[in-house]
């Protein structure tokens, strides 16, 4: 076996093992009996040790060094070598025991979090949260980011991104959102999401959501839609085995349907990677920010649009009697109503940005040791009061509402808003290429939308960095301007500002 074939074989073995670990994680969130959590944590810790050893094997580094000097490498090989070396350098900076301890602690913390959130008791998970952040802070320190750990996480997946750049983007976006929110609060127009609350049987929601995502493009022969406490997607696996979940609430179809469309965006990204990327570990999105762009594009720019519901509302009325009295305008206005709420997943499209900015700012404070974990719920609640004039009623609505910290996803919240900003660019470009896009959607025709996203974004996987993909697509650098234009136009029309 020559060097390149050996390198590709090692990478494929890493891919197989991480996929097994990922499937174990998916099963834990969807199927695992409560008493199985401790043993699952042990097995996940074992797998993590094996994956760490595979990713940091001396042979892998030797092959990367040898192959990187070749002049005839194709684009896929070049990117595989680059990302493998990058990961090798990051991981070898971290002691193996620390890495496996973190993986095991993640599983334990997530299991505790599920109980703590159900009981609305932050004290149950406080020490685990503190240890999670300690682990991540050490990872940053070992990689040379002791002075600004958040820079490590911001740039970890979004190459070239820094807290300085991100702060400028967020400051501009936050100012625009707050300005719009002030005008909306002063408007005489008062839309209300609760006006379409009613009785929506869970079983019928399951049927409707499966029908909806299938019509938009989700392939149920290559994927599943299940349920979990917190909706998520497992699409780092093979393109023929994609898993996503949603959550249903009997009083409304909005949360379940929106979450299903959000996760579908992640999932079809995974379904549409080029076949030649299978087994290369490049069969993932360009970055977490780009992955969130696709989920939020389908959730917000598509499934919160009036043309989308011009098609799907009549279908929904065949499932739910409580929708039959509502006109398209009424349902659309209610769906997009400003909903000042302490819960991120219950927020509207506009204020969602503030939810993410709050988390980003708190993470920066924790990593910089500017807040301790006894104070954390109060700091969280005060941020909500300052930004949105609302305070969480309890820990479940406040600091415990998200799965991310318990699952170890620290320093990643910003990717949701980065996704929104990428979408500003994407929407401008796609409307130029498909001028009648939303007319097509109103007739239930989603093929052109699906194919455009697949051919221009999904197929490339991780071959290009975030900035490279955006420049290839639009010729521009990342800016919040187009997204600000989009939300300004939408909410100006909605509230007649």
CB-based contact 400:394 (threshold 8 Å): no
As to burial, measured by CB atoms within 10 angstroms (0-12 exposed, 13-18 middle, 19+ buried), residue 31 is exposed
Distance CA 128, CA 413 (A): 19
Distance CA 177, CA 421 (A): 13
- In angstroms, the Cα distances linking 326 to 46, 299, 301 are 54, 21, 22
Distance CA 332, CA 195 (A): 11
Note if 493 is an active site residue: no
CB-based contact 246:298 (threshold 8 Å): no
- Relative orientation angle of helices 414-433 and 466-474, to the nearest 10 degrees: 20
Annotated catalytic residue: which of 79, 104, 263, 292? 263
Dig out the tokens for 180 from the structure. 């719009």
Q: 116: closest CA among 108, 455, 261?
A: 108
Strands annotated E in 339-382 = none
Dig out the tokens for 30 from the structure. 């969807």
In which region does residue 182 sit, left (phi positive, over 0), alpha (psi from -120 to 50) or beta (all else)?
A: alpha
CB-based contact 477:471 (threshold 8 Å): yes
Residue 413 neighbours by CB under 8 Å, 6+ apart: 356, 359, 360, 363, 404
Q: 122: closest CA among 378, 404, 383?
A: 378
Residue 64 neighbours by CB under 8 Å, 6+ apart: 7, 81, 84, 85, 88
CA dihedral sign of residues 392, 395, 396, 401: positive
Dig out the tokens for 169 from the structure. 């983007």
What are 244's strand-pairing partners?
Answer: 225, 233
Dig out the tokens for 309 from the structure. 């519901």
CA dihedral sign of residues 23, 258, 158, 6: positive
Compute the CA torsion angle 433, 437, 440, 444 (nearest 10 deg): 120
What residues are annotated to the active site?
A: 263
């Amino acid at each position: 076996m020559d060097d390149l074939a050996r390198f590709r074989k090692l990478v494929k073995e890493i891919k197989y093992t991480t996929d097994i670990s990922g499937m174990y994680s998916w099963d834990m969130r969807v199927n695992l009996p409560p008493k199985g959590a401790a043993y699952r944590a042990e097995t996940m810790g074992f797998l993590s040790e094996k994956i760490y050893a595979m990713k940091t094997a001396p042979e892998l580094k030797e092959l990367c060094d040898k192959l990187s000097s070749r002049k005839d490498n194709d684009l896929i090989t070049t990117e595989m070598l680059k990302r493998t070396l990058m990961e090798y350098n990051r991981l070898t900076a971290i002691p193996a025991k620390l890495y496996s301890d973190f993986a095991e602690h993640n599983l334990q913390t997530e299991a505790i979090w599920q109980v703590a959130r159900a009981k609305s008791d932050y004290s149950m998970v406080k020490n685990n949260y503190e240890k999670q952040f300690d682990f991540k802070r050490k990872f940053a320190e070992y990689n040379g980011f002791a002075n600004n750990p958040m820079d490590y996480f911001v740039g970890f997946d979004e190459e070239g991104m820094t807290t300085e750049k991100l702060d400028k983007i967020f400051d501009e976006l936050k100012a625009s959102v707050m300005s719009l929110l002030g005008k909306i609060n002063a408007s005489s127009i008062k839309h209300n999401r609760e006006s379409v609350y009613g009785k929506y049987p869970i079983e019928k929601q399951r049927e409707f959501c499966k029908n909806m995502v299938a019509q938009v493009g989700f392939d149920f022969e290559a994927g599943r839609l299940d349920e979990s406490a917190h909706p998520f997607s497992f699409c780092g696996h093979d393109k023929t085995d994609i898993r996503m979940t949603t959550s249903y609430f009997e009083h409304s179809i909005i949360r379940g349907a929106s979450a299903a469309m959000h996760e579908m965006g992640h999932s079809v990204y995974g379904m549409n990677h080029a076949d030649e990327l299978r087994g290369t570990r490049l069969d993932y999105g360009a970055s977490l920010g780009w992955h969130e762009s696709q989920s939020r594009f389908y959730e917000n720019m598509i499934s919160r649009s009036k043309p989308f519901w011009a098609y799907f509302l009549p279908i929904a009325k065949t499932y739910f009697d409580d929708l039959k009295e509502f006109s398209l305008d009424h349902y659309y206005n209610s769906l997009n109503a400003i909903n000042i709420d302490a819960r991120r997943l219950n927020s509207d499209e506009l204020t969602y940005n503030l939810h993410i900015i709050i988390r980003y700012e708190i993470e920066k404070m924790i990593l910089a040791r500017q807040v301790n974990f006894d104070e954390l719920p109060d700091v969280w609640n005060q941020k909500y009061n300052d930004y949105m004039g609302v305070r969480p009623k309890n820990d479940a609505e406040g600091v415990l509402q998200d799965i991310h910290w318990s699952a170890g996803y620290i320093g990643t919240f910003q990717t949701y808003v980065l996704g929104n900003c990428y979408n500003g660019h994407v929407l401008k470009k796609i409307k130029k290429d498909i001028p009648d896009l939303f007319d097509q959607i109103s007739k239930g025709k989603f093929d052109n939308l699906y194919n455009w996203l697949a051919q221009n974004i999904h197929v490339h996987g991780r071959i290009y960095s975030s900035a490279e993909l955006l420049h290839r697509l639009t010729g521009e650098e990342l800016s919040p301007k187009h997204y600000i234009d989009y939300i300004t136009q939408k909410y100006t029309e909605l509230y007649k500002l």
